[in-house]
Amino acid sequence: MNSNNKYKILIVEDEDNINTLLSALLETNGYQVISSRTAQGGLMLFNSHKPDLIILDLGLPDLDGKELLKKIRREHLTPIIVLSARSDEKDKILALDLGANDYVTKPFGSGELVARVRSCLRNSATLSGGGHSPGKTFESDGLLIDYDSRRVFIDSVEIKLTQTEYNIIAFLSEYPGKVMTYSAIIKAIWGYNDLGSTKKLQVNMANIRKKFGAKPGKKNYIINELGVGYRMCERD
């Protein structure tokens, strides 16, 4: 956070109407905004202003947004939310695997975008404050994960998970609120990625959701980001 006590957000987006709309939306919500219509301009603003968060469009006129993401990620952990069109599923996944913190699909609702910005800033504050240690437990709305005993409870009732199922839950809970791609989860759990891995992950996840009693109208602790990955709910 900078001296005037407002988070500074850098928008890199070449479409004038989206850039203008985003700037107005974020300023209304109490953020300081700087913006660029090109990747090169965005990189210059990043270096000179050291923003707290970046909203990055992937389709830029001078350079692929993913290249800018790579350049920044080489040296900085600044949270990055990627903007992408609905048709660019592959790009979105690639951007997440390159280190983007989250994505928002165009066209987006203003409430959704502001919520993602808040969550990203909150998570990065937690990380820089306490390293990456998740503590001894994870708690969210009735869900309790006890890392020491490797046990999981919902409303104080133990949910019996296999080792693999537990490993998946424990991994996702290290990154609450952040979408983790299939390949990131697979690498963390099995250490390799082969043809059947995504299917194996989906089967495990279906079992977890069954054991968690996922029903319409009931709280989903794990959000299924279709075609991309999974997102753990945020901590209490």
Structure tokens at 123: 């998570």
Structure token digits, residue 70: 């790579």
164: closest CA among 183, 139, 191?
Answer: 191
How far is residue 79's CA from residue 100's CA, in Å, rounded to a whole number?
A: 7
Binding mask 13-52 for Ca ion (x = CB under 5 A): -x--------------------------------------
Give residues with Cβ within 8 angstroms of 27, minimum separation 6: 33
- Which one-letter amino acid corresponds to residue 81? I
Complex with Ca ion: residue 13 or 165, whichever CB lies closer = 13
The piece of 10-18, 34-42, 159-167, 186-194 that touches Ca ion (CB under 5 A) is 10-18
Piece of the chain touching Ca ion by CB under 5 A; list 6-14, 143-151, 176-184, 217-225: 6-14
Task: Report the residue from 57, 88, 102, 165 that binds Ca ion according to the rule CB under 5 A.
Answer: 57
* 100-129 binders of Ca ion (CB under 5 A): none
Which residue number places its CB atom closest to Ca ion? 59
Q: Nearer Cβ to Ca ion, position 59 or 134?
A: 59
Map residue 9 onto helix, strand or coil. strand
CB of 68 to Ca ion, least distance (A): 12
d(CA 11, CA 20): 10
d(CA 80, CA 56): 7
Q: Which stretch binds Ca ion (CB under 5 A): 53-61, 111-119, 174-182, 200-208?
A: 53-61
Does position 59 bind Ca ion by CB under 5 A? yes
Residue 91 binds Ca ion, judged by CB under 5 A: no
Spatial separation of the C-alpha atoms in residues 214 and 42, rounded to whole Å:
42
The pair of structure tokens assigned to 98 is 């390159």
Report if residue 88 touches Ca ion, rule: CB under 5 A: no
Interface residues with Ca ion (CB under 5 A)? 14, 57, 59
